[in-house]
Amino acid sequence: MIDRVLAKVFGTQHERDIKKLAPRAAAINALEPSIKVLSDGELRGKTAELRARLAAALEGVAEEEVKEARSRALDDLLEEAFAVVREASVRALGMRPFDVQLIGGMVLHQGKISEMKTGEGKTLVATMPVYLNALTGRGVHVVTVNDYLARRDAEWMGKIYNFLGLTVGCIQNSLSDDERKKQYACDVTYGTNNEFGFDYLRDNMKFELESMVQRGHIYAIVDEVDSILIDEARTPLIISGPSEENTDVYYKCNRIIPRLVKGEETKDKYGNKTTTGDYLIDEKSKTAVLTEEGVAKAEKLIGVKNLYDLANIDALHGVEQALRAHTLYKKDVEYMIKDGQVLIVDEFTGRVLPGRRWSDGLHQAVEAKEGVRIERENQTLATITLQNYFRLYEKLAGMTGTADTEASEFHQIYKLDVVVVPTNMPMIRIDHQDVVYASEREKFESVTDEIVSCRERGQPVLVGTVSIEKSERLSGLLKDRKVPHVVLNAKFHEKEAEIVAQAGKSGSVTIATNMAGRGTDIVLGGNPEAFAEHRRAETKSAEEFAALLAQLRSEAAQDRETVLAAGGLHILGTERHESRRVDNQLRGRSGRQGDPGSSRFFLSLEDDLMRIFGSDRLQKVMRKLGMEEGVPIEHGMVSRAIERAQKQVEGRNFETRKHLLEYDDVMNRQRGEIYGLRLDILKGKQGKDEVLVLADVILDYTLGRNLPEDKGPDEWDTAAFDLDLKEYFGITPGSLDFSGKDRDEIREMVLAALREIYEAKEKLLGPETMRLHERFVMLQVVDQQWKDHLLAIDHLKEGIGLRGYGQRDPLVEYKKESFELFTLMKERIEDQIVQYLFRLQPVVREAEGEIVDEEARHAPVAMPSRRSANVNYSYGAAASGGQGAKVETIHRSAPKVGRNEPCPCGSGRKYKKCHGAAAAGA
């Protein structure tokens, strides 16, 4: 009844997890005969039926129990829904999900991570839980690593969803807001993590509810989840606009670095530390610091007396970043130059991350070092880490070939459990022992030899490298020996998927930076469908195309035999990565679905991992074991030592990410509160009543300060009170006569006046316009203050690192201070909302029939309109796959609202006469 693999008796936790799900797989199988006989129409009809049953289960359920009830109801429908999708898949795609795929789908439905090896068909696995959860109509998101895969999967799996009457959307980088909204309105939406995250941020900068594109965060399945939630976790999404700053300082600081000398820390025989040279480098932690001599020299070279003077903070910062740029960041490793721009290269994938910039002046320092134009520093307008974005979802699930090594991190940070799902066919790939050479040169020579010998046998090879630089070095060696090959790296990634798809052809040699081409299946003998698609233009009719496809298929089948005879795909690693997971990912490209295959890593003592993290002991042992020129060492001890080093680095990286998360938690709560407030404003839940309450609070505050309860009238500071009334509410001093009144009477009098002022304005504008006016003012204030707060927090973070705290924990200090900043910001928001709403004085100009906010032009505090600011969305790694070379940065340099267009606040006046005036005056 169930596949053989599942029938085996298991022992480990994962196996027990799987065993629990096996009966459900059997139940799905049992439904198959009754589903099979349905007509296409009847099968599609199942969707409506299941939806009706879901609705029935939720009928009359109390609000607070809906969530629980819904999840129970969905669970009850699981077997039937999965059986329906399985049959739809057979009919629409010709693939019948295997039992292990059903199991993988159940794990996803439970909100866990399904570890399934490469080639197990995770794309298809996702359709089952997606369909089930989409029955609620609340929108399911499927997250892919790049735009190309989002498009591919939405189209491919869309056939199943459409067959069953579900709508499918796909978010692409180039889409407009209107189009995005349509895609989000679908039952299922595919897209990259960055698109989802940025849409969330952008939605929270919108001025109308209707222009928000997302409709909630219900259930997300994250494909290649380790890449997104672990490798990318350290990079927050940031929307920024340029700030006014002077770039000269970067050029100036850049010039002095070559004149500084690298030194080191030394200990004398008493253990006293001294330093030599002008600066010290620590590659492990990527830090570079000036020594005292270095500081003195830098001061002289730049021409400042004291770098640590507050007035010279820019110069100090500039020198530090220039030093890092020169000593820790290498061209074609950490970054590359293209079209006069410094582009960051992702350390994990070797891909270029267009539009992404290092923060805190580092990017500018690298630009100065490379002599390209310095882009103006950007100020953060909105930001979120991927961790916190994904934690917004009611239910989160993930899938990948490599999660188990990071299971504890997934659990601790995301509360995601990992379940390892067995492969459909037994895995027969042979993973050979690492071989270690004394020098990198010898290593690369042997790598080349091995490639040549594979090629002679007709065995395809996929070579993994850690950087573009290494890829090119190897490519050069192969060229010398006239070995045809393709190099897959950041520079070519538009064609990545296409090339990887053919990497299984006999004799092909593909060099790829680690994890490049993730998500693309390597079929032994090549992928005839993809190849035919590529050559479609050569054909003139559907018949011709079909003939071409048939021909390519038979060629591929033949070639597959050659490759199988040669041992399948061979994976050749040229260096161990810092994380075992990434090595496993590379290995996993071979041996899919029971194919034969093999893998081997070639290492040298000069590799970064060995050099920086390998112990001295290891080096000594290696030498003792005898390292002759060209003769490698293959020894279990070496592999164990490497694994230890990797575990150590993994642990450290986890700590870094956790640390970052702890800091980000603070910001996350604050963002949640502000975005919540914003949403209330947009929904009209913050209006007149709330403003009057705020006014009341402020009145009490000024009463308490100037007319204290415990003091008599002769001790009151009525002058200061008058000023406050003017300042906050625009009440002209003396216009209210307080003489002979007691405190309570004065309070009542002012309150009455406030109500009167407000009502008068409302009468003038009409209630509808007044509501829009309130909303617009509040949003302006909130956004401006939030933006300033983000800047302050950036500085605070920077400062926390620099300040000495003695015994105190910097995180605790950071939490305390950021909380204080946040509280102050909220007070400023309240003050300003009241000030603007009470003081802005609408005047009706009879002649033109227009209302003008007279005082808006001289608003007490500048009210810069976000709409006229230069807004710039830097889409981090979003661009990859198909269209990555394009720099996806949107610059908004012109006001979005034309000066003569109607003001977006809805007043009916021209923008320049309404809020545009405030913006212009700012």
Q: Which residues bind ligand ADP (CB under 6 A)?
A: 95-98, 101, 116, 118-124, 521
Among all residues, whose Cβ is closest to ligand ADP? Answer: 121
CA distances from 485 to 30, 83, 452, 601, 759 (A): 49, 44, 11, 19, 77
Q: For residues 849-870, b (16+ Cβ closer than 10 Å) or e, as one string?
A: eebbbebbeebeeebbbbbbbe
98 binds, among Mg ion, ligand ADP, none (CB under 5 to 8 A by kind): ligand ADP
Pick the stretch among 120-128, 153-161, 230-238, 382-390 that binds Mg ion (CB under 5 A): 120-128
Take residue 722 and report the two structure tokens written for it: 């008058």
From the CB of 463, what's the least distance to ligand ADP, in Å? 20
Whether 390 contacts 669, CB under 8 Å = no
517 binds Mg ion (CB under 5 A): no
Q: How far is the CB of 121 from ligand ADP (least distance, A)?
A: 2
Residue 140 phi, psi (nearest 5) = -115, 135
Nearer to Mg ion, 500 or 914 (CB): 500
Residue closer to Mg ion (CB basis): 105 or 519: 519
Q: How far is CA 387 from CA 170, 225, 403, in A?
A: 22, 11, 16
| Closest CB to Mg ion among residues 122, 589 | 122
Q: What does 119 bind: Mg ion, ligand ADP, none (CB cut-off 5 to 8 Å by kind)? A: ligand ADP
**Smallest separation, CB 97 to ligand ADP (Å):** 5
Q: Considering CB under 5 A, how many residues would be counted as binding Mg ion? A: 2
| In contact, 412 and 106? CB cutoff 8 Å | no
Residue placing its CB nearer to Mg ion in the complex, 519 or 591: 519
Strands (E), 97-228: 113-115, 140-144, 168-170, 188-192, 219-223
For residue 755, how far is the Cα from the chain centroid? 47
Pick the closer one to ligand ADP by CB: 564 or 621. 564
- Nearest-approach distance from CB 621 to ligand ADP, in angstroms: 39
- Sole window of 114-122, 226-234, 281-289, 867-875 interacting with Mg ion (rule: CB under 5 A): 114-122
Distance CA 913, CA 243 (A): 27
What minimum distance in Å lies between the beta carbon of 96 and ligand ADP?
Answer: 6
Residue 620 contact, options Mg ion, ligand ADP, none, Cβ 5-8 Å cut-off depending on partner type = none
Pick what 355 binds: ligand ADP, Mg ion, none; C-beta below 5 to 8 Å, kind-dependent: none
Q: Which is nearer to ligand ADP, 307 or 523 (CB)?
A: 523
- Report residue 353: phi and psi, to 5°: -110, 90
If the CB atoms of residues 29 and 467 are measured against ligand ADP, the closer one turns out to be 29
Measured between alpha carbons, how far is residue 111 from residues 122, 193, 917 in Å? Answer: 15, 18, 51
Residue number with CB closer to ligand ADP (118 or 364)? 118
Residue 869 near residue 922 (C-beta atoms within 8 A): no
By C-beta, is 229 or 778 nearer to ligand ADP? 229
519 binds Mg ion (CB under 5 A): yes
Report the alpha-carbon distance of residue 436 to residue 632 in Å, rounded. Answer: 5
Instruction: State the binding partner of 762 from Mg ion, ligand ADP, none, CB within 5 to 8 A by kind.
Output: none
Structure tokens at 41: 């129409």
What sign results for the dihedral spanned by CA atoms 69, 72, 77, 83?
positive
The partner in contact with residue 169, picked from Mg ion, ligand ADP, none with C-beta cut-offs of 5 to 8 angstroms by kind, is none
Shortest approach of ligand ADP to residue 400 CB, angstroms? 9
What residues have CB less than 8 Å from 535, skipping those under 6 apart?
A: 548
CB 110 within 8 A of CB 67: no
* Comparison of 224 and 367: residue with beta carbon closer to ligand ADP: 224
Q: How far is residue 287's CA from residue 824's CA, in Å, rounded to a whole number?
A: 34
The binder of 521, among Mg ion, ligand ADP, none, by C-beta within 5 to 8 A per type, is: ligand ADP
Among ligand ADP, Mg ion, none, what does residue 124 contact (CB within 5–8 Å per kind)? ligand ADP
Least distance to Mg ion from the beta carbon of 104, Å? 12
CA–CA separation, 713 and 693 (whole Å): 26
Q: Which does 97 bind (CB under 5 to 8 A by kind): ligand ADP, Mg ion, none?
A: ligand ADP
Binding partner at 883 among Mg ion, ligand ADP, none, C-beta below 5 to 8 Å by kind: none
By the criterion CB under 5 A, which residues form the site for Mg ion? 122, 519
